Amino acid sequence: MTARVQTGDFDIGAEIARLRAADRGVGAIASFVGTVRDVNDAATITGMTLEHYPGMTEAALDEIIATARQRFDIREALVIHRVGTLEPGDQIVLVVVTSAHRGTAFDACEFIIDWLKTRAPFWKKERLPDGERWVEARASDDEAAQRW
């Protein structure tokens, strides 16, 4: 059970290889990677800054992973979330779940990212050609999280 908050990039291949090497009971691996788009709400995005609430962030991610472990029969779960300045195309967040079978891995991976989007204290501020703007939370994210 691992959650990391970091400014640097991550290597999904290396992270998955590490999880596989540590556990031969793994039969399925599901992953999610969120990346920075160059467009949002019809505006050109030149980059973004991700802010978080140090101290709470790690605790919130740990709690989301712990909840996933209670609800789903998974082997391991990993969340890496970047903060700081990011450019279009950059990776923002990684979720990896290992389990014996695929259904559980898919479900737990989706659960973790859905809950992260409404419960983990991160905020995105987009850079546009003519200034900056805070990203507004979407009602569809709340609805996605409430499915679980």
- Count how many Cα atoms sit within 13 Å of the Cα of residue 76 in the half-sphere of its side chain: 21
What track of x and - describes contact with other proteins for positions 8 through 47 (by CB under 8 A)?
A: --------------------------x-------------
User: What is the rounded CA–CA span in Å between residue 86 and residue 114?
Assistant: 22
Count the neighbouring beta carbons within 10 Å of the beta carbon of residue 83: 17
Site stretch for other proteins (CB under 8 A), options 20-28, 39-47, 99-107, 136-144: 136-144
148 sits near other proteins (criterion: CB under 8 A): no
Helix (H) or strand (E) holding 70: helix 56-71
Place of tokens 């992270």: 15
Site stretch for other proteins (CB under 8 A), options 11-19, 37-45, 56-64, 103-111: 56-64
If the CB atoms of residues 10 and 26 are measured against other proteins, the closer one turns out to be 10
From the list 27, 5, 8, the residue with the least C-alpha distance to 105 is 27
137 sits near other proteins (criterion: CB under 8 A): yes
Residue 66 and residue 146 in contact, taking contact as beta carbons nearer than 8 Å? no
Site stretch for other proteins (CB under 8 A), options 12-20, 50-58, 69-77, 103-111: 50-58
Binding site for other proteins (CB under 8 A): 34, 50-53, 55-56, 59-60, 81, 92-93, 113, 116-125, 134-137, 141
